[in-house]
């Protein structure tokens, strides 16, 4: 990416939905995936829009929501912001789903309406990191802190350390495996033990 983020910090939060989530999708087209060198296939929600007008609108939205915007050209976001505001105006949907440009459209972003977020999200965890190096569509980071609770006012309650697993019973044992890029710990009975 063209933007220099080295030395900056970022907080990444994980939330769990507690109710069905209905989103409108934008930015998913074969052309957008090809432009970003994505390895994913088009989702199949509507692989062939019903007519030329729908196809033109779909391709236009895909282009503006997956555009790589260089530093100093942030005004180029105005079009996608205007489209998002229009799509957000309808109460049918709880938010928007669109491809993550920073990951070559191999992952997704959600923009949720405040009413849905306030009523239907449960905080799971947050991680705080410093960006050490920016490479083409990749980041080298150093993890700095973690959290599994929020303050009463909604602020993140940082632990001041990274997660750690604790063996509570004498002569206890944990077995670790890597699954989907994360460590999973299990006790002798095979039960998952969460880090603290």
Give the bridge partners for 192, in sequence order: 186
pTM over the 0.85 mark: no
Find the angle CA(48)-CA(65)-CA(45) to the nearest 5 degrees: 30
pLDDT band at 71 (very low <50, low <70, confident <90, very high): confident
> What average pLDDT does range 61-72 have in this prediction?
87
Q: What six digits make up the tokens of 186?
A: 């299990």
Distance CA(81)–CA(18), nearest Å, equals: 28
| 95-99/23-25 β-pairing | parallel
Q: What six digits make up the tokens of 183?
A: 């460590």
Q: What radius of gyration, in Å, describes the C-alpha atoms of the chain?
A: 20
Q: Quick one: which of 191, 142, 178, 185 has its CA closest to 162?
A: 142
| Cα first-last separation, the chain | 35
Distance CA(146)–CA(78), nearest Å, equals: 34
CA count, 13 A, side-chain hemisphere, 161: 5
pLDDT band at 3 (very low <50, low <70, confident <90, very high): low
Q: pLDDT per residue over 74-117, tens digit each?
A: 899 999 999 999 988 888 899 999 998 888 888 999 999 999 99
Percentage, residues of the chain above pLDDT 90: 54
Phi-psi region of 190 (alpha: psi -120 to 50; beta: other; left: phi over 0): left
């Amino acid at each position: 990416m063209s933007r220099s983020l080295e030395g900056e910090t970022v907080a990444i939060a994980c939330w769990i939905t507690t109710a069905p989530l209905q989103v409108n999708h934008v930015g998913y087209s074969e052309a957008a995936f090809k432009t970003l060198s994505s390895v994913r296939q088009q989702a199949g929600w509507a692989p062939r829009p019903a007519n030329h007008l729908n196809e033109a609108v779909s391709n236009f939205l895909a282009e503006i929501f997956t555009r790589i915007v260089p530093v100093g050209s942030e005004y180029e976001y105005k079009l996608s912001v205007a489209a998002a505001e229009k799509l957000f105006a309808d109460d049918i949907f709880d938010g928007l789903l669109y491809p993550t440009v920073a990951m070559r459209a191999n992952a997704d972003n959600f923009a949720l309406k405040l009413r849905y977020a306030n009523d239907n999200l449960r905080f799971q965890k947050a991680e705080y990191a410093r960006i050490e190096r920016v490479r083409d569509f990749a980041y080298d980071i150093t993890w700095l802190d973690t959290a599994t609770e929020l303050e009463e006012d909604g602020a993140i309650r940082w632990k001041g350390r990274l997660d750690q697993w604790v063996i509570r019973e004498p002569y206890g044992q944990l077995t670790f495996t890597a699954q989907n890029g994360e460590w999973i710990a299990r006790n002798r009975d095979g039960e998952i033990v969460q880090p603290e």
